[in-house]
Amino acid sequence: MIAVHRSSRCLLVVWFAAVTLCSANRSDARIGETTLQCVARYGPPKDTPSSKIMDKNSPLLEGAIHHIYEYQGWKIRAAFLQLDGPAVRVEYSKMPMAGGSPLVRDYELQAIMTANTPAGMTWTQIAYDNPDSPNKGIAKAAEVLVSVGQKMWRRTDGAVLWSRGDIVIRLELLAAREYEQELKLTKEQKARASVPQF
């Protein structure tokens, strides 16, 4: 009888440790969660034909798998490089509601930031730097002057949080930018290879 009791207690301790570990990992870094973890957190994706058109015309990350989740008045767009891989870029925005403001308040931004801060990591505000901009030199410096409401933070591991005019909050892992650089290089190589031999 005692052996059964001890083994039950051991199983309970192991189960509790596993649940604690899973919960800690789930709350640590939503930006790096898989599609299954996102479904567990936000429910099934709300992908529609119009969202597929938006993903094609204005992708969160070109060539990625996109999903849209709706969660407590928020729309969450996520881009995955692999079907079972982590979300490498995520955008949070408020869903239109009668009488509601689309602006993300400071405390809402802080909640998003906190939810995406794994243990032992911190965010540091950095100078605004639009990764989508083709500008260089003085034109790039001028962007900072006209970037009203745009702020950026970098996490200890290189992830970036970008408040885009207090309407959209974008988070991205370093893997998203590396993927975009590789994609750009591949396109450039194809363009160079397609030049006729005049």
Put the strands of the sheet holding 168-172 in their side by side order.
65-71, 74-80, 87-94, 168-172, 160-164, 150-155, 123-126
Expressed in angstroms, the distance from the first to the final Cα of the chain is: 89
Beta bridge mates, 87 = 80
CA dihedral 62→66→70→76, nearest 10 degrees, is: -40
pLDDT digit string (tens) for 173-188? 999 999 999 999 999 9
Per DSSP, the three-state class of 167 is coil
Cα separation, 80 vs 175, whole angstroms: 10
The tokens describing 118, both together, are: 């794994």
123, 79, 169, 154 alpha-carbon torsion, rounded to 10°: 20
Q: What is the pTM of this model?
A: 0.71
Percent of the chain's residues with pLDDT above 70: 72
Note whether 68 and 51 are within 8 A (CB).
yes
Q: Interior CA angle at 28 toward 25 and 29, to 5°?
A: 105
pLDDT, tens digit, for every residue of 19-78?
333 333 333 348 999 999 999 999 999 988 777 777 777 889 999 999 999 999 999 999
Is 159's pLDDT higher than 50?
yes
